[in-house]
Structure 1
Amino acid sequence: MFPKRKYSNGGDNREMGFKRQHIDSGQPPPFPVVRLRGLPFDCTEADVIDFFRGLDILDILFVHKSGRFTGEAFCVLAYPLQVDFALQRNKQNMGRRYIEVFRSKRQEYYGAIAHEVSDMKVGSPSRSAPRARSNDDGNDTIEHTGILRMRGLPYSAGKDDVIDFFKDYELSEDHIHIVLNSDGRSTGEAYVEFASAEDSKSAMRRDRMTLGSRYIELFPSNPKEMDEAISKGR
């Protein structure tokens, strides 16, 4: 399984070159993933994206051990060629920390995913809430309007992935809104309009389940919040 490419930055020409290289060599291209070490313990996905500014990131997986962040992460890039550019950031700083960047392999990345999912199943308290909830607590008491906000989506996720995540419900692509930033890139959030408030409340049982390697958080929302978030990316 190769992560789906969603971002383009002059990508059409590069993609054609990528395909030609694949055909000419007769070998599958190397999996474009790097491993980072020495990350600050309050590091966020936005920090990693900024560290690799200019590169196309498909997924970021923070590594935990016994429920604690290890300071390591895997970063999947859009093209094998971008791995070389990512390695040039080795020992550059993120805040006060200098970050080590290593070449990695597909098996290591998927092994880390398996470990994270296994760790979650064991019920480690600190892994049950991988992102701070702050003012989002108390979802059970919030009135449902038929709209849910998703947080923590893989950057490569599309509307079809959201439909599959909520496969027990009748959803159309027109009712799924992936939030983009001013650069047209996914923020990792999406809004989903269900057929009824009862359906959105029922769908909350999928809160903190995984989509690919990521834990998805769900929050009741409303049309005003959804419209404001969508308009920011326009």
Structure 2
Amino acid sequence: MAKNYTRKGGVALCLSSQGRRNGEALVRFSTVEHRELALRRHKHHIGQRYIEVYKASGRDFLNVAGGSNSEAHAFLQRDGQVIIRMRGLPFDAISKDV
């Protein structure tokens, strides 16, 4: 069984202005080392989808989430901000897929 190194509630699947998943996610990890392992997945695939993985900051997260979203602010208030941004996810991806 694979271990989960993300923080509890550490996956945020982003939505478009129409409320649909837009293929992006932000993931908060327990340690910098775990984030570095995730960054190695840059230009790999999830299913048939080519994904991109980048380092991200709390500011990046707020920009993607729209800045005034209370859920976004709550996500960042939890311990640590070791974050990556993923692009190109399948639109039906769930937190477990990430």
With structure 1 as the length reference, what TM-score do the two structures score? 0.26
- Give the number of the structure whose residues are more often strand, by fraction: 2
CA distance in structure 1 between the partners assigned to 2:31 and 2:4 by the alignment? 11
* Aligned equivalent of 2:43, options 195, 208, 228: 208
For residues 77-136 of structure 1, the C-alpha deviation after alignment (integer angstroms, 9 at most, x for no partner) is xxxxxxxxxxxxxxxxxxxxxxxxxxxxxxxxxxxxxxxxxxxxxxxxxxxxxxxxxxxx
Give the partner amino acid of 1:217.
Answer: E
Q: Which residue of 1 aligns with 2:9?
A: 174
CA RMSD of aligned residues (A): 2.2
CA distance in structure 1 between the partners assigned to 2:48 and 2:8 by the alignment? 22
Tell me the secondary structure at the aligned position of residue 38 of structure 2.
helix
Aligned residues: 68
CA distance in structure 1 between the partners assigned to 2:19 and 2:64 by the alignment? 13
Query: Structure 1 residue 186 and structure 2 residue 21: aligned?
Result: yes
How far the C-alpha of 1:213 sits from its partner, in A, is 0.9
- Give the number of the structure whose residues are more often helix, by fraction: 1
How far the C-alpha of 1:204 sits from its partner, in A, is 1.2
Asked whether the 8 Å contact 2:10–2:27 carries over to 1, the reply is yes
Report sequence identity in percent: 26
Q: Which has the higher contact order (CA 8 A, sep 6+)?
A: 2
For residues 6-38 of structure 1, the C-alpha deviation after alignment (integer angstroms, 9 at most, x for no partner) is xxxxxxxxxxxxxxxxxxxxxxxxxxxxxxxxx
Highest Rg: 1 or 2? 1
CA distance in structure 2 between the partners assigned to 1:229 and 1:219 by the alignment? 13
Give the partner amino acid of 1:200.
Answer: R
Q: Which residue of 2 aligns with 1:43?
A: none
